[in-house]
Structure 1
Amino acid sequence: MIRVGVYENPPKIFIENGRISGIFGDLLYAIADREGWQVQPVACTWRKCLQELREGKIDLMPDVTYNEERARFLDFGSIPALHGWSELYRNPHVMIVTVHDLVGKRIGVLADSSQERYLRQMLHDFGVRKAGIVPLDSLDQAFAQAAQGNIDAVATNYFFGDIAARRYGLKATPIIFQPSQLYFAVPKGTNRDLLEAIDFYLGQWITTPESPYYRILEHWKAAVGETHIPASVWWSVGLLNLLLVLALVTMWLQRRQVLAQGRHLQITEAKLAVILDSVDACIFIKDEDLRYQYVNHRQTLRLDRDSEAILGQTDDALFDSETAERMHTEDQHVLVSGETLTIEEQGTGNPRATGRTYLTVKQPLRDERGRIYALCGISTDFTAHKRAQEKIHQLAFYDPLTGLPNRALLLDRARHALDDYARERSLGALLFIDLDNFKVLNDTLGHAHGDRLLELVAARLGALVRRNDTLARLGGDEFVLLMERLGSDLDAAIARTEGVARQLLDSFADPFLLNGNRHNITTSIGAALFSEVGNRVDELLKRADMAMYEAKAAGRNQVKFFDPLMQASLSARAALETELREAITHRHFLLYYQPQVDASGLLIGAEALLRWEHPHKGLITPGRFIAEAESSGLIIAIGQWILRTACEQLVTWSQQPGYADLPLSVNVSARQFHHPDFVADVLHILKETGANPERLGLELTETLLAEDMDTLIEKMKALRTHGIRFSLDDFGTGYSSLSYLKRLPLDQLKIDQSFVQDLLDDPNDATIVKTILALGSSLDLEVIAEGVETAAQRDALLTFGCHCFQGYFFGHPGPAEKLPSTLDP
């Protein structure tokens, strides 16, 4: 249960019908559904929410702007959920155009909000000393006060402001301030798992255009898409244009009046100059010869020159030749055609403005007869908006580690490439590139070195790619090269594709330098041609992926092209998965039991072995279907059925003399054991069936030890406290590590049957068996030999000191009722 602080700030967040609604509410519920959280809304004012969050009375609060003061008592997510800015909304009977119009005005603002601090600083910076800041407990209260005339304006974020302004009859002003990033926050030092989960989903969804993130933004009509100029900027530009035209018309009329009105004209011009100088935009006027006749204060700052050094000059004297020529062409077009031009341009004229982006509007000025006598330009700095859009685009379509295109961009380009192939019949190919044994290097050297290797691999592969091709990273150690326009000749296209693939393979011959040490790594590449997939991108990727796995199966460090036999294998796997789902639904599985005996032939335990009773194919052993169950995830449901059936059998045996104390071992797959609910599921099944946990043994394979060892040990210890025993199956064939072995809470080692089979003929196998027995003895672990099929094998094992056995020599797997209590030695 998560207590979430909610203050009224639609459409970002508010409570509706007892649930959190708005952008943040929908995002939170989308994440909560995936994480299994229950969300409890806690309604409060902004100030109260912050206080209760600080005191730990609520667990999470959305829609919080980061600042250093809050960071002292709050922890923030690393990924902002929204980007926004703040605006001023005025009573319709009050005129507010610039910051200087706020002199003597009363401005309502949410108490203790970031807008309050930012607004006070902005008024101070502009020298506005007599404006009154009125802190209020809620934004609805602020808008109601403004509508009634008790205050003149309200400062708030544009998400809430645009909606509330329409509801209360307020008007938006051209004053925009405080670009902000909005986060989820928790009390300092607590609930970091909540932030990590939220960051995980935001990190995935923000880079995926079809994700819940963008569907929620679209629903609330707040989506951040392609580059756009905020409406307030256009209103500002329009208002400035209107003011400027009015000013020029007024000046022109006054010049024609009698000399007695000169003083009044000078006063009016001074007022207009103050207005234009206070506007947050660069304004200039050029005559018909394109000489500057007027510049406001912002334009002088942009050009880094006094107005005296600008007036009367042309752009040739102020800019480099290329920029001046471009401006001359644009200005001539405005003067000749009479059209208004809108241009996006980079900051020029001042080295300190390098990297700034301006939206410049140039329009003609006409006299009373309609003749164009000058042009006026207004340039608005929208660098922040431009950079935010570029950052969103980068996150959405490029891998943050390597800078390569990500899956979304690759899929888009692949669709276009297949469309081009359908029209022009120029072949293309897709190469699926996977590093060999990357996980071993990553686990050995650490993830930091693994990431560095991926960066070096991306750089090396990128140096070999043609300009028209696309090299992308899908994730992990998987890269994809999309090759286009290979011509219409199939043989030539195959040869070209293979040549490029060989070049990529050869590039790995040179070692990679990591932390001053040289490391060698190879790669396996699978290739598929456009001609084989029609217009289906998913099929193209699937075939290249299958070819890559074929290259790995053939020994790695190879190139393999997709073969029709792979498709047949894929179809067979799909059919097998369908049949497995039916087997789970109709309970076509059963358990056989193989005896485990001691040296005297006494039954000391049994192992439960899965069989599939297929309605048409008869009894099927696990070797033919367990791999598909693992890869499809069906092993979770099958494993739960095995555990339940085995526990029910233990209950049955507990009522039969000779079997009441018999232990039963059950194999557990890596995927099943690593499932988050595994421990809870086992304990639930034991409780529900009434089985004695001390009679249940779980057999783990060494592949389980290859990942997340700490979590593995934690789960084993949790189950062992209830009496459950653990065996390490197939010992010596997998991820053997003595340092891990001594940490595991094991009871038994099982010698793999591959060592037992050649025990009498291969001295190496005999040595391995002796070593495992000695290791088990030193670690106080029981050791049992699997796959014992002959008396000679049993006798040899006895001489080595092995006293527990399992194999066909003692009994084949069969139904529970055929399990003997004693066998002949």
Structure 2
Amino acid sequence: MSRLHRVRWYWRWCCGCALLLALLFGAMNTNTSQAQAAAREVYVGIYNNPPKIMAGANGQPSGILGHLLQEIALQEGWVLHPVHCTWEACLAALEAGDIDLLPDVAYSEQRASTLDFHETPALHSWSQIYRREGIELHSMLDLQGKRLIVLNGSVQEQYLRPLLASFGITAQIMPAQNFEQAFAKVAAGEADAAAVNYHFGDQAAPRFHLLPTSLIFQPSKLYYASGKGRNSDLLATLDSHLTNWQANPNSFYFQNLKRWSGPPPAPPTVPIAFWWGLATVAALLLLALAGMLLLRREVARQTHKLRTSEEKLSTILNSIEANVFIKDAQLRYQYANRKLCEFLGVPIEQILGKSDEAFFDAPTAARIREIDHLVLESGQRLVREEYGHRLGNTKKHTFLSVKLPLGLPGQAGYALCGISTEITEQRQFIEEIHQLAFYDPLTHLPNRKQLMERLHQLMAEPRTHQGSQALLLINLDNFKDLNDTHGHSAGDQLLLQVAQRLTACARPGDMVARLGSDEFALLMGEHKPNSASTQHQIEYAATHILKALSEMPYQIGALEYLASAGIGITVLDSSQPSVEAILKHADLALFQAKAQGRNSLRFFKPDMEVVVAARAALETDLREGLRQEQFLLYYQPQVDSKHQMFGVEALVRWQHPQRGLVPPGSFIGLAEASGLIEPLGLWILRTACTQIAHWSHNPAMAHLQVAVNISARQLHHARFVEQVLAILDETGANPERLELELTESQLVEDMEGAITKMKKLKEHGIHLSLDDFGTGYSSLNHLKRLPLDQLKIDQSFVRDLLIDANDLSIVKAIVGMGHSLHLSVLAEGVETQEQRDMLEQLGCIFYQGYWFGRPMPVAQLQDWRSPGAVSTSSVD
């Protein structure tokens, strides 16, 4: 029995024994047993190739790819069984099906015939040759007679053997079982150099006192591989995690990569090998040209010798994996090697005598011609990155080109020789890394890191125009409600449209960035220096932004959504010693704007820090008050035209240990802003329902209907209906004695969702009232669709009812509208007998206000008497 089969048999035997013991002793509960039975067992091949893959101290997979696999296994509930083997043994076991996954496998057509790979690469790598001190390696030609170690059966070996043979280079290729062994042999003097992947090489070279060379080759993509036709579900799961991680620069993927690989590599520089190769090519070309001059005199004697030399030169140039060419003074091709012919897609006969305009689009040809002229005119060698498109091809190619003139020293060239190596894939890697590091993946706006760098640059520059620039922090109002109600995809659509509107508002020189979630920033460029109206200009621009964000609805699928935002503004000046101070000031201003209400903006002022500190202390007390249940419910009577109390409104008070009895106006706004309104609202609802259940045993109070105000956050919570019904069930309260009060502004944010929830509540007998009617945004069309029982006239209309004809007309219209819709109408804020009498004349017969009684504890409520009652009877 092979070692791998013994390992698998041993694991299965252990699992069987553990299951048997669990069944015998009953030590495992049913849920745990089911979870383990469902766990996926994955056998993973581990060979020693740090830092990409190796065995950790516990034998589990470690390294870059090992930790990625462990994180995926943790999230998916897989059980990983490590199988330790050499590279060749691991490959054989993978093909035989003895292991399920093998990390760190480079894709090739040959391997794809026997193995399966996922789509998204797990890691990008390339190979590099490392040497010991005293060994000089500047180009592939220097490998002549050297002893070179490669991993047995690796892609490095498959690449180097035919390459060296094509150059006619005789080097001793020595096998190693792993990279650690390869470096150890080079360090011990048993070999001159080793070819390894750069992840291992850069990390291990200092430990073995080895030096990197400029011989870099074979960029590759690394995957987790599985046996052909096996484990497609594992590969699909890996793809899903890798795709999501690589789209987020703050994900576990990039944290893990930074941990093992250190800082990202610097942009590609010109390898020394190019100069040596270039010098070799130039020397050979010069020898060939000299030979051609001699052949004119001795054609007969040198014909055979010349043909042989040309064939050797052609073999060398055609073996180079770079585009090699010669152009004349008019920049027409005089020579092209095999690689250039393949790139242009035409035989050499169709290249010679033509210029770059025949093969590249006009902008690309113009850039190449400019560099070529500079080489010929200066008589100096130039190294440039060249990019562009071939004719009829949309793919962008990038080359690292080395060009030198062919001519007499100090004179302008009469010909040009060039070597261009394609670095398109490497450039794409760099651009992708830059995009992930500095741009938001959803909106493609600059991210927080790029904004911070720009602010650091501004701080470092001389501030000649103090106070002429500003930072605006922009935060959407109630964005969480949209996410909770319609899902994150709807939230993403809103963020994309907000980004478009902000970009349209920006001026040239402004920077729009997304800092995360629903927070954006706009760094405004300089206004007119020394202008007395600079702040006015900034305020005008910020007001324009608020208007652009809120005046038109956003189309999110079939939903038309109205959004608004708050803006905090800080003007950049010398009083801000750091970038952190700038952001803090803008944040404080934003906090004040959000506290002021929807669609608000505020400039930073120094006293804001004191206010925010006090507000933070109050928020801390509020959290502690919720934890210690320091809140009370007061009840305000609701009276009919016969002066009989038919209901009460439950109003919260905070019995603070130091501040005393705190009214709701001092803390409800803070509870809304901090999110504490949800637990507070549930406490109010539960306490009111408990009181309903208690009064049900008191005949004098059992008929009372208790009205409870519902916050916007509560209403738009995905489980709001379930929460209300659960509290009713928990307290035993009669649903018909509960009235929930909603406001117009709450409903308009998500009318359809609110109607659905209201209908479900009505099905259980709960009454619904529209509070503060006349101050919101409801249209008659919306009102007739709402399953309401009552309209409450806002006290702002009742206050001046007797002296303001407009208020009188509004109240009359509301009463008439309520009656036409078969709704009861209750007037709030009734403070005088005259107001009550006028309301009765207008047809309103239900009232609430100080004339009948202020909010009071339960004990006082039971002794309540109406001031206008004609008899001494009470509700007791």
Where do 1:179-218 residues align within 5 Å? Answer: 203=247, 205-206=248-249, 214-218=254-258
The CA distance in 1 between the partners of 2:252 and 2:383, in whole Å, is 35
Q: Which residue of 1 aligns with 2:424?
A: 383
Which letter maps to 1:420? E
Q: What does the per-residue CA deviation read over 1:522-541, in whole Å, with 9 as the maximum and x for residues that have no partner?
A: 99987542238524321453
Q: 1:581 and 2:581 equivalent?
A: no
Which letter maps to 1:461? C
Let me know the Cα RMSD of the aligned residues.
7.7
- How big is the shift at 1:454? 5.3
The CA distance in 2 between the partners of 1:267 and 1:301, in whole Å, is 25
The CA distance in 2 between the partners of 1:375 and 1:595, in whole Å, is 95
Q: Is the 8 A contact 1:83 1:180 kept in 2?
A: yes
The CA distance in 1 between the partners of 2:151 and 2:242, in whole Å, is 35
Change (3 A) 1:415 1:693: farther
SS at match of 2:661: strand
Q: 1:414 and 2:458 equivalent?
A: no
The CA distance in 2 between the partners of 1:295 and 1:179, in whole Å, is 30
Change (3 A) 1:296 1:693: farther
Q: Is the 8 A contact 2:389 2:396 kept in 1?
A: no
Q: Is the 8 A contact 2:73 2:79 kept in 1?
A: no
Q: Which residue of 1 aligns with 2:676?
A: 634
- How big is the shift at 1:621? 1.3
Q: Which residue of 2 aligns with 1:814?
A: 856
Of 576, 582, 585, the residue aligned with 1:537 is 582
The CA distance in 1 between the partners of 2:264 and 2:354, in whole Å, is 41
Where do 1:425-824 residues align within 5 Å? Answer: 425=466, 427-430=468-471, 457=501, 460-462=504-506, 465-466=507-508, 468-472=509-513, 481-486=522-527, 489=530, 491=532, 493-494=534-535, 497=538, 528-531=570-573, 534-535=576-577, 536-542=581-587, 545=590, 562=603, 564=605, 568=607, 571-585=610-624, 587=628, 589-594=630-635, 607-639=649-681, 641-642=683-684, 666-672=708-714, 674=716, 691-692=731-732, 694=734, 697=738, 699=740, 701-702=742-743, 703-707=745-749, 725=766, 727-728=768-769, 730=771, 732=773, 733-734=775-776, 736=778, 749-754=789-794, 758=798, 761=808, 762-771=811-820, 773-774=822-823, 793=836, 808=850, 811-820=853-862, 824=874
The CA distance in 1 between the partners of 2:45 and 2:820, in whole Å, is 67
The CA distance in 2 between the partners of 1:705 and 1:225, in whole Å, is 54
Which letter maps to 2:813? N
Which letter maps to 1:530? L
- How big is the shift at 1:358? 0.3
Change (3 A) 1:629 1:316: closer
Q: Is the 8 A contact 1:433 1:523 kept in 2?
A: yes
The CA distance in 1 between the partners of 2:553 and 2:831, in whole Å, is 49
- How big is the shift at 1:175? 5.8
SS at match of 1:619: strand
Q: Is the 8 A contact 1:749 1:784 kept in 2?
A: no
Q: Which residue of 2 aligns with 1:326?
A: 371
Q: Which residue of 1 aligns with 2:146?
A: none
The CA distance in 1 between the partners of 2:684 and 2:106, in whole Å, is 49
Change (3 A) 1:20 1:543: same
SS at match of 1:489: coil
- How big is the shift at 1:622? 1.3
The CA distance in 1 between the partners of 2:603 and 2:451, in whole Å, is 20
Q: Is the 8 A contact 2:328 2:334 kept in 1?
A: yes
Q: Which residue of 2 aligns with 1:221?
A: 261
Where do 1:265-414 residues align within 5 Å? Answer: 270=311, 273-274=314-315, 276-284=317-325, 295-302=336-343, 307=348, 323-324=368-369, 326-327=371-372, 329-330=374-375, 342-347=383-388, 355-361=396-402, 377-394=418-435, 396-398=437-439, 405-414=446-455
Q: Is the 8 A contact 2:126 2:216 kept in 1?
A: no
Q: Which residue of 1 aligns with 2:191?
A: none
The CA distance in 2 between the partners of 1:503 and 1:718, in whole Å, is 41
Change (3 A) 1:26 1:401: same
Change (3 A) 1:20 1:226: same
Q: Is the 8 A contact 1:453 1:512 kept in 2?
A: no
The CA distance in 2 between the partners of 1:440 and 1:683, in whole Å, is 21
The CA distance in 2 between the partners of 1:644 and 1:511, in whole Å, is 39
The CA distance in 2 between the partners of 1:752 and 1:28, in whole Å, is 60
The CA distance in 1 between the partners of 2:223 and 2:441, in whole Å, is 20
SS at match of 1:752: strand
Q: Is the 8 A contact 2:383 2:400 kept in 1?
A: yes
Which letter maps to 2:260? W
Which letter maps to 1:414? L
- How big is the shift at 1:482? 3.2
Q: Is the 8 A contact 2:653 2:663 kept in 1?
A: yes
Structure 2, gaps ≥5 residues long: 1-34, 84-89, 131-139, 142-149, 163-176, 185-194, 226-230, 295-299, 408-412, 802-807, 866-873
SS at match of 1:813: coil
Q: TM-score, normalised by structure 2?
A: 0.58
Which letter maps to 1:409? Q
The CA distance in 2 between the partners of 1:729 and 1:28, in whole Å, is 55
- How big is the shift at 1:393? 3.4
Q: Is the 8 A contact 1:527 1:548 kept in 2?
A: no
Worse-superposed segment, 602-611 or 530-539? 602-611
- How big is the shift at 1:816? 3.9
Where do 1:14-29 residues align within 5 Å? Answer: none
Q: What does the per-residue CA deviation read over 1:574-606, in whole Å, with 9 as the maximum and x for residues that have no partner?
A: 412322312432537321231666868887765
Q: Which residue of 2 aligns with 1:84?
A: 124
Q: TM-score, normalised by structure 1?
A: 0.61
Q: What does the per-residue CA deviation read over 1:665-717, in whole Å, with 9 as the maximum and x for residues that have no partner?
A: 65443334555787887788889xx5336569583634443456677678789
Q: Is the 8 A contact 1:12 1:24 kept in 2?
A: yes
Change (3 A) 1:83 1:712: farther
The CA distance in 2 between the partners of 1:580 and 1:447, in whole Å, is 28
- How big is the shift at 1:626? 1.1
Change (3 A) 1:347 1:263: farther
Change (3 A) 1:685 1:454: closer
Which letter maps to 1:692? G
Q: 1:176 and 2:225 equivalent?
A: no
Change (3 A) 1:199 1:500: same
- How big is the shift at 1:164? 12
Q: What does the per-residue CA deviation read over 1:53-72, in whole Å, with 9 as the maximum and x for residues that have no partner?
A: xxxx99xx99999x9xx9xx
SS at match of 1:491: coil
SS at match of 2:794: helix
The CA distance in 2 between the partners of 1:249 and 1:538, in whole Å, is 63
Structure 1, gaps ≥5 residues long: 52-56, 91-96, 99-105, 124-139, 148-154, 367-371, 777-782
The CA distance in 2 between the partners of 1:726 and 1:14, in whole Å, is 66
Worse-superposed segment, 306-315 or 633-642? 306-315
Q: What does the per-residue CA deviation read over 1:463-509, in whole Å, with 9 as the maximum and x for residues that have no partner?
A: xx24x443556689987553445576352645765787799899999
